[in-house]
Amino acid sequence: MKLKRRMHWRLAALGVCVLAASCSKSPIHSPNEPVTLTISAAISLKDPLQSITQTYEQQHPGVRVECNFGGSGTLEQQIEQGAPVDIFISAAEKEMDTLEDKHLLVPGTRRDLLANQLVLIAPASSKFTGGFANLTRRTIKSIAMGEPRTVPAGAYAQEVFEHLHLLPEIQSKIVYAKDVRGVLAYVETGNADAGMVYATDARISNRVRVVAAAPEGSHDPILYPVAALNVSKTPQAARALLDALETPESLAIFEKYGFLSPDGAKAAK
């Protein structure tokens, strides 16, 4: 389901346009009382989120938005240890579930924002073909993926390899990265013959090509939950920014970068 359909449904159901509230000409905060908000977000969101927050700052004088990108598991651990974060966007439900269980989320603010797909990539100049089955070939000496314990893309990749019964044969070839952009860099530079990244990451680089998409049903749905955190010192401003992430304009930017509506992914669970 396209993000645009999701937008129309939400606007009809709520009877109001969130954009009107979040992007009005009157700033939420006086420029004389500057507010800094921090979003900790999965690094796969870096490009669209930087664009969205830059526009938000322009529309809301006095509000500064800082983005902290990294592996979702690492970000979750930082939050547990007291990092001053206002909004968290994870690339998997596991990390958000952990924070919710520890009562670190503002009740009622959690929702699934986006979805993604997992793909197998190779360097653009590589002759690698044939999909996942050919990862066992001798010519494929290294396969990059995120560390499964802290990088959702790595956990999804491991699920795919286990589903395809490939893990025992390729385990010795695997090299781990601290986040999905690290995987992309390994493949871009030729330091890995193949790698597992999100489809949105593959789109931003002309130094890699997609060899195959993960088979349907081979991994858990890739959902990006978002929520406000109760450690925020400016909860009203955090809530306004959270709502702004789901305006039609913001969702159109996410869609431009290849992100999908979570509706289809949730239906497949």
Sheet holding 194-198, edge to edge: 174-177, 143-146, 194-198, 118-123, 208-213
> What's the pLDDT at 269?
54
Cα separation, 93 vs 32, in Å, equals 38
> What's the pLDDT at 25?
36
Cα separation, 194 vs 210, in Å, equals 10
Against a cut of 0.75, is the pTM above it?
yes
> What's the pLDDT at 33?
76
Cα separation, 207 vs 185, in Å, equals 9
Helix, coil or strand: residue 181: helix
pLDDT tens digit at each of 269 positions of the chain: 444 444 443 433 333 333 333 333 334 445 557 899 999 999 999 999 999 999 999 999 999 999 999 999 999 999 999 999 999 999 999 999 999 999 999 999 999 999 999 999 999 999 998 899 999 999 999 999 999 999 999 999 999 999 999 999 999 999 999 999 999 999 999 999 999 999 999 999 999 999 999 999 999 999 999 999 999 999 999 999 999 999 999 999 999 999 999 986 655 55
Q: Which domains does the chain have, with CATH numbers?
A: 3-115+223-267 (3.40.190.10), 118-213 (3.40.190.10)
> What's the pLDDT at 265?
67
> What's the pLDDT at 127?
92
**Using N-to-C axis directions, what is the helix angle for 46-59 and 235-244, rounded to 10°?**
120
Instruction: Note whether 242 and 228 are within 8 A (CB).
Output: yes
Helix, coil or strand: residue 92: coil
The Cβ of residue 183 has, within 10 Å, a number of other Cβ atoms equal to 31
Cβ partners under 8 Å of residue 92, min gap 6:
72, 152, 155, 156, 220, 222, 223
The Cβ of residue 124 has, within 10 Å, a number of other Cβ atoms equal to 12
Helix, coil or strand: residue 178: coil
DSSP lists the bridge partners of residue 40 as 68, 88
Cα separation, 42 vs 178, in Å, equals 12
> What's the pLDDT at 264?
66
Spell 228-237 as b/e; 16+ CB within 10 A means b: bbeebebeeb
3-state helix, strand, coil in the chain (%, to 5): 45, 20, 35
Sheet holding 35-42, edge to edge: 63-70, 35-42, 87-89, 223-228, 111-115
